[in-house]
Amino acid sequence: MLVSREDLVTKIRGIFPFFMSDRKLIEKMIAHCEVVIFEPGKMIFKEDAKAEHIYFIVEGEVEILKERHQSLNVINNKAKGGIFGEDALGNEAKRRTSARAKSTSLLVRIPINQLQMLISHENKLQRAFSLIITTYNNLLKSYLSVEYLQESVVYFGYSDSTVWLLSSSLKLFFWIVFEMAVWILLKSALLSIDIFTVFSLFFSGVVLLWLLWNYFDWRNDKYIVTSRRVVNRKQTLFFKDQCFETPLNKIININIQKSIWGRSLDFGNMFIKTFTDVSWLKNIPQADIVQSLIENLWEKEKEKAREEEKRTFETVLQDQSNANLDRTVSPFSDEEEMTNEFINEEIIEDRGNIYKEIHTHWILLLGKFIFPSMLLFSSVLILIYMKLNTFQLLESPLSIILASLYFCVVIIWCSYQFADWQNDRYIIDNQNIIDINRKPFGLEDRRTAPIKNIQSIRYEKRGLIRLLFDFGTVYIRVGDEDFTFDEVHNPAGIQKEIFNAFIKLIENESKEELTEQQKRFIDWMDSYEKFKGERKSKED
């Protein structure tokens, strides 16, 4: 795992935020850096240790750990091109987290004084590292879902606190003016001081509750950028929970809008566009830096794909140039060919498997049962009343037959409602999302959409009942239409299932496409070698 200084400079300058800096300044910084290697499971630094360096990952993976409740918990993962050790840039020169090598990792250890010299030359670089430190601090304060921690979280922020503070202060000012006006009116009406005190306490309480409401509303709006997606999470206390996810490889454009206040206080609204949808991230701090970060992630993904393709073709060329291999045999070894065959078959077979089958929430089933259950319950009460009052009508055979038929109809009705609920299914497999709506003894409506055409995924839970019982609607943007999973349990989990299926399908298709390219390349090489052999035999 040796790497030259020139390669180090190129690698570092290709990632966020170092691409904003001058190459000569990076070369000067690298001259004072140290290259270190850590084996899997080795601790790079521990919590509470002295923070004097920041690290850049040339190769490998690193997990960031935080001790909580006497156990080490993963709060982030860092991959090739990542930066960690942010505590060295803070006010306290002490580690608040630990770092451990997840795989064999080649790292560049950068002295903090050298990095600070580099940062001091570029205002944009200062703002970018400020964003990195903010993300790190937010990760320490919050608990992110496990699915985000399986990726590399590169940005995690909230709506701009300054904007929230200014808007809240302005609204508070209007409340005070209103209270003063009420005070003047009460005084002019010659009301007693006790009544005025009650009104003052009432309005003060309303203002305080309103401020607390806005604070929690602000804290519940989160924006997360990982190595695979952009997440826009909005929660309103007791009312709403929404999460909008956009895969990075579906983004085609990012626009930023800044008002006069935004230009002054360095925040803006970001619009992330896919082919058919737009995600609006409101009041993003340092929006232009976040835009640069996402664009750099695009480039890293493209570079990763190119490197993978290059390594594969190098392997093919090496096998092809081996004189011991028979031309009629595949340039892969027998073991490799069997492995590739197995993988391809597994992909094909796995695509037919169902990842998840989902029904609407059981509360909707209860809703279907309410009316027939009320009829049944009321009928039983009427029969009990009639029996207690010795109605002669109950003793006739016709009454018994009619009552039996009535109860049979109600039971059949309940059974029909249950079958109707059970027949409405949503299915996620490796290639498609499927919505099946089938009426008992009626028609079946079946909608299917390819997972690879998904542009964005979001879910929404509105109302206290949905928040308490954790059910809502998942919206999947496929092409220019919304495909919905209505009123399903745990919509956040279903969103995760769909996103994982999307990622797996894209990866499998990329592998298949690369395999086809390899086969074509091998055929070209065979034809070329055959042409060279025939030409040489003619010359001889």
* Residues 80 and 176 grouped into a single domain: no
* Residues 27 and 53 grouped into a single domain: yes
* Residues 177 and 136 grouped into a single domain: no
Q: Over range 95-112, report the average pLDDT.
A: 93
pLDDT of residue 530: 77
Tokens 């206040």, residue located: 261
Least-confidence region, from 430-434, 461-465, 485-489, 516-520: 516-520
Q: Over range 368-395, report the average pLDDT.
A: 71
Edge to edge, the sheet with strand 267-273 lists 253-257, 267-273, 278-285
- Phi, psi (deg, nearest 5) at residue 105: -125, 130
b/e burial code for range 224-259 (CB count within 10 A of at least 16 → b) = bbbbbbbbbbbbeeeebbbbbbbbbebbeebeeeee
Range of the domain at 22: 1-143
Least-confidence region, from 29-33, 66-70, 377-381: 377-381
* Residues 5 and 128 grouped into a single domain: yes
pLDDT of residue 352: 45
- CATH classification at residue 422: 2.30.29.30
Nearest alpha carbon to residue 161 among 210, 218, 237: 218
Chain-centre distance of CA 329, in angstroms? 45
- Residue 257 covered by a domain: no
Q: Mark out the alpha helices in 389-434 (DSSP H runs).
A: 397-423
Q: Over range 476-501, report the average pLDDT.
A: 88
486/460 Cα distance (integer angstroms)? 10
pLDDT of residue 325: 45
Helix/strand/coil percent split, the chain, to 5: 55, 25, 20
- Residue 261 covered by a domain: no
- Residue 392 covered by a domain: yes
- Residue 297 covered by a domain: no
82/59 Cα distance (integer angstroms)? 10
Chain-centre distance of CA 14, in angstroms? 25
Number of domains in the chain: 3
* CB contact at 8 A, 470 and 520: no
What is the token pair recorded at 240?
Answer: 């709403």
* Residues 482 and 359 grouped into a single domain: yes
pLDDT of residue 42: 94
For 426-481, how does the pLDDT look when each residue is reduced to its tens digit (9 = 90+)?
Answer: 998 888 898 988 888 778 888 888 988 888 899 999 888 888 888 999 999 887 78
* Residues 166 and 135 grouped into a single domain: no
Q: What percent of the chain has pLDDT above 90?
A: 15
* CB contact at 8 A, 93 and 51: yes
Q: What is the mean pLDDT of the chain?
A: 79
| pLDDT grade for 371, boundaries at 50, 70 and 90 | confident
265/246 Cα distance (integer angstroms)? 27
66/105 Cα distance (integer angstroms)? 20
Looking at residue 62, its amino acid is: V
* CB contact at 8 A, 26 and 13: yes
- Residue 315 covered by a domain: no
Tokens 């030409």, residue located: 535
What is the token pair recorded at 270?
Answer: 């970001």
Nearest alpha carbon to residue 85 among 71, 68, 70, 105: 105
What is the token pair recorded at 119?
Answer: 């940062």
| pLDDT grade for 179, boundaries at 50, 70 and 90 | low
* CB contact at 8 A, 29 and 118: yes
* Residues 16 and 100 grouped into a single domain: yes
* Residues 84 and 172 grouped into a single domain: no
For 116-155, how does the pLDDT look when each residue is reduced to its tens digit (9 = 90+)?
Answer: 999 988 888 999 998 899 888 888 887 666 566 667 778 7
Alpha-carbon torsion, ordered 410, 411, 413, 414, to 10 deg? 120
* DSSP string for residues in 6-59: HHHHHHHHTSTTGGGS-HHHHHHHHTT-EEEEE-TT-EEE-TTSB--EEEEEEE
* Residues 75 and 174 grouped into a single domain: no
151/405 Cα distance (integer angstroms)? 60
Tokens 């966020």, residue located: 16
* Residues 139 and 174 grouped into a single domain: no
* CB contact at 8 A, 83 and 131: no
Q: Which of 193, 219, 245 is the last residue of a domain?
A: 219
What letter does residue 248 receive in the DSSP assignment? G
pLDDT of residue 95: 93
Query: Taking the chain, what is the end-to-end CA distance rounded to the nearest angstrom?
Result: 46
- CATH classification at residue 135: 2.60.120.10
pLDDT at 186 > cutoff 80: no
pLDDT of residue 389: 67
Beta carbons within 10 angstroms of residue 209's beta carbon: 10
- Residue 525 covered by a domain: no
Nearest alpha carbon to residue 33 among 56, 10, 11: 56
Q: Mark out the alpha helices in 53-192 (DSSP H runs).
A: 112-120, 123-141, 146-149, 161-188
Q: Name the most confidently modeled range: 165-169, 217-221, 319-323.
A: 217-221
- Residue 99 covered by a domain: yes
Q: Over range 371-386, report the average pLDDT.
A: 74
182/526 Cα distance (integer angstroms)? 92
For 296-351, how does the pLDDT look when each residue is reduced to its tens digit (9 = 90+)?
Answer: 888 877 777 777 777 766 776 666 666 444 444 444 444 444 334 333 333 333 44
For 44-77, how does the pLDDT look when each residue is reduced to its tens digit (9 = 90+)?
Answer: 999 999 999 999 999 999 999 998 888 888 888 9
| pLDDT grade for 91, boundaries at 50, 70 and 90 | confident
194/294 Cα distance (integer angstroms)? 59
pLDDT of residue 145: 64
- Residue 12 covered by a domain: yes
Q: Cα angle vertex 44, ends 39, 47, to 5°? A: 145
Half-sphere exposure of 306 (CA within 13 A, CB side): 6
Q: Name the most confidently modeled range: 100-114, 282-296, 441-455.
A: 100-114
* Residues 369 and 467 grouped into a single domain: yes
Q: Which of 219, 235, 253 is the last residue of a domain?
A: 219
* Residues 99 and 188 grouped into a single domain: no
pLDDT at 15 > cutoff 80: yes
- Phi, psi (deg, nearest 5) at residue 157: -145, 175
* CB contact at 8 A, 365 and 418: yes
